[in-house]
């Protein structure tokens, strides 16, 4: 079963996954400064504060700029390669 709420997908190796009845795990996660980001099928996923905010608008803007630079570089390279060699 592929879950949408998993430590790997939500916060990587810095998070914890605790069952809803495992109070010890939940307490340890809170002591480590982790917050619940999602819960599914009786499991809670704890991640460091702010993890969900990493994919902000600026990331997508920077990605767009990088793609445009790559396209411009490809076009420039193609033009340079078309020039006859003397």
Nearest Cα to 44, choosing from 9, 81, 7? 7
Alpha carbon distance 67, 14 (integer Å): 30
pTM over 0.75: no
Question: 18: how many CB neighbours lie within 10 A of its CB?
Answer: 23
Alpha carbon distance 22, 6 (integer Å): 17
List the structure tokens of 16: 């914890």
Radius of gyration of the chain (CA): 22
- Please report, rounded to a whole number, the percentage of residues in the chain having pLDDT higher than 70: 86
Q: Is the pLDDT of residue 14 over 90?
A: no
Give pLDDT tens digits for 27-43: 999 998 898 888 888 88
The pLDDT score that the predictor gives to residue 68 is 97
The pLDDT score that the predictor gives to residue 54 is 54
Give pLDDT tens digits for 40-58: 888 888 888 766 655 567 7
Residue ranges per domain, the chain?
1-53, 55-86
């Amino acid at each position: 079963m592929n879950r949408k709420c998993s430590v790997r997908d939500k916060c990587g190796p810095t998070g914890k996954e605790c069952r809803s009845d495992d109070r010890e795990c939940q307490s340890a996660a809170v002591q480590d400064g982790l917050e619940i980001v999602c819960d599914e099928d009786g499991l809670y996923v704890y991640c460091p504060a702010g993890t969900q905010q990493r994919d902000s608008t600026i990331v997508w803007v920077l990605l767009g700029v990088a793609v445009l630079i790559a396209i411009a570089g490809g076009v420039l390279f193609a033009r340079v390669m078309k020039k006859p060699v003397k």
